Amino acid sequence: MEPTLRAALVVTLAATGVALTTTPATAAPTRYEAETAPASCNGTIDTNHAGFSGSGFCNAGNAVGAAAQFTVSAPTAGTARLGVRFANGTTTARPTDILVNGARVAGTTFEGTGAWTTWVTKTLTVAVTAGSTTIAFSPTTADGLANIDYLDFEVVAGGTGGNGQPNDANIQYYGRWDRSNASYYAMGWAGGYLDAQFTGSSIGVRQRNAIDLYYSVDRGPLQWRRNVSGNVTLATGLSGTTHTVRIGYRERAGSYTGDPVFGGLILAGGGQTARITRPQNFVEFIGDSITVGQPNADRPFTAYAWLTGEALGAGHTQVAQGGACLVSQDCYGMMDWFRRSSGYATTDDWNFATYQATAVVINLGTNDVGHNVSTTQFQQNYVVMLQRVRQAYPNAHIFAMATFRGRYAPETRNAVTAVGDSRVHFVDTTGWIGTADLVDSVHPNDAGHAKIAQRLTPVIDQYI
């Protein structure tokens, strides 16, 4: 992504999943010099400030996203201790994202050290899986990074035995979560969820204010617990040793002001979490009420988006809201709103470095008709939308669905042709559903959603 665009998108979240400590490592870590391949430096390798180790240091460019990256080898999965040596001769701290294998796991800052020749080591911890792992420091302000000398790396604890707190590295989150409050991670948009594996005979979840939540234990059918708050027991008397749980929330949107936050798992005495596999693919669905699954009672998990994601064996989420349009003309224009962390955020605050979708499905246009968006305007703005999604997700396959009512379908197709990107695909939905598959004149019923998912799944599957 272009640094200028990223600057507009980046929000600095408080450090989560990261522990700062001054305790020196007891066992010997492996040292990776910033100037030695496969490390990469988005700038120059310099030698003009004494005191560095090896043959130089990374002076990354003064720009958002101008990163220093290390490739380390983790002997086992677990908690790794990072010792990053840096110098910052200015008096302004330089904040940075920490990316593990390209995904943002935490943030930290490189404070002023007094002089460019004064090198300091900062120690932090991140969760890693076994094998070759990239660890990048990607600055979030135009000052760029501090000068980076090396990274000491050591796995200090095994990958099992999490406590179920929101920042437990064993918990896998899907969708857009605001992690700025360490006690309660907040789900933005619809169709976000988390997966965990755990030991012990019971499982519960800590909530804050009232919310409708859905969950599944040991991959059983999803079930609702409506209007619950505080400590919520989900299952007791579980036999066997290892179990899984999935938890998601009703989206906060329209008149529904429930509190979609996750305050941690409540484990049985002696119970722990363990690492759970994260699928290789992630599909982000951008749309309106149809993509949310409104007005059906069991949305979001009866919506075509959720069903398609599941059928693909992928992670998935629904960046969608009722009434949304493509164009922001007296309407929630998703060409702008998809850059937000939630349907109630007030700025374009989502950091797309948090995760990368492998596929993005766009289903927009059904509502633009009611806002006097001309066909010319629609087509031009759809091109912009496709370009923006491409900037957010440089490698994703992007699927532009014709709306089920056929509204702006030719313009959607023309926009796909106009961008001339071999990874952008038009999806012709003609005949996928009929009037018997609708609850009103536009919204599919549960059976209609199932039909759509059946048609859409193979379209995506051939690309990812």
140 binds Ca ion (CB under 5 A): no
The sign of the dihedral angle between the CA atoms of 130, 136, 137, 141 is negative
* Per-residue buried b or exposed e for 46-70, using 16+ beta carbons within 10 Å of the residue's own CB: eeebeebeeebbbbbbebbbbbbbb
Give the pair of three-digit tokens for residue 317.
């989420």
Minimum CB separation of residue 85 from ligand GCU in Å reads 14
117 binds ligand GCU (CB under 6 A): no
Minimum CB separation of residue 134 from ligand GCU in Å reads 22
The smaller minimum CB distance to ligand GCU, of residues 62 and 181, is found at 62
User: 3-state DSSP helix/strand/coil percent for the chain, to nearest 5?
Assistant: 15, 35, 50
- Cis before 260 (ω within 30): no
Q: Do 188 and 351 contact (CB within 8 A), yes or no? A: no
Work out what residue 336 binds among ligand GCU, Ca ion, none; the CB cut-off runs from 5 to 8 Å by kind: none
116 binds ligand GCU (CB under 6 A): yes
Q: Which residue is nearest to ligand GCU (CB)?
A: 59
The smaller minimum CB distance to Ca ion, of residues 59 and 412, is found at 59
Minimum CB separation of residue 112 from ligand GCU in Å reads 11
| Contact pattern for ligand GCU over residues 133 through 162, marking x by CB under 6 A | -----------x--x---------------
The smaller minimum CB distance to ligand GCU, of residues 147 and 197, is found at 147
Give a three-class secondary structure readout of 88-128: CCCCCCEEEEEEECCEEEEEEEECCCCCCCCCEEEEEEEEE
Work out what residue 397 binds among ligand GCU, Ca ion, none; the CB cut-off runs from 5 to 8 Å by kind: none
Tell me the one-letter amino acid at 277: T
Length of the chain: 464
Q: What pairs with residue 287 in β-bridges? A: 320, 363
The smaller minimum CB distance to ligand GCU, of residues 59 and 302, is found at 59
Minimum CB separation of residue 104 from ligand GCU in Å reads 22
Minimum CB separation of residue 90 from ligand GCU in Å reads 6
Number of H helices, E strands in the chain: 7, 28
Minimum CB separation of residue 60 from ligand GCU in Å reads 7
Work out what residue 116 binds among Ca ion, ligand GCU, none; the CB cut-off runs from 5 to 8 Å by kind: ligand GCU
Q: Which residues have C-beta within 8 Å of that of residue 1, sequence separation ≥ 6?
A: 9, 65, 352, 391, 392, 394
| Contact pattern for ligand GCU over residues 52 through 71, marking x by CB under 6 A | -------x--x---------
d(CA 455, CA 458): 7
The candidate with the shortest Cα–Cα distance to 233, out of 217, 256, 221, is 217
| Contact pattern for Ca ion over residues 54 through 83, marking x by CB under 5 A | -----x------------------------
Instruction: Select the span of 51-59, 172-180, 213-221, 358-366 touching Ca ion (CB under 5 A).
Output: 51-59
The smaller minimum CB distance to Ca ion, of residues 59 and 341, is found at 59
Q: Do 315 and 185 contact (CB within 8 A), yes or no? A: no
Residue whose tokens read 């998935």: 316
Minimum CB separation of residue 64 from ligand GCU in Å reads 13
Binding residues with Ca ion: total (CB under 5 A): 1
Residue 131 CB neighbours (<10 A): 12
User: Cα–Cα distances in Å, from 70 out to 16, 100, 208?
Assistant: 21, 10, 39
For residue 396, give the 3-state DSSP assignment.
coil
Q: Which residue is nearest to Ca ion (CB)?
A: 59
Minimum CB separation of residue 63 from ligand GCU in Å reads 10
Which residues lie near Ca ion (CB under 5 A)?
Answer: 59
Which residues lie near ligand GCU (CB under 6 A)?
Answer: 46, 49, 59, 62, 90, 116, 144, 147
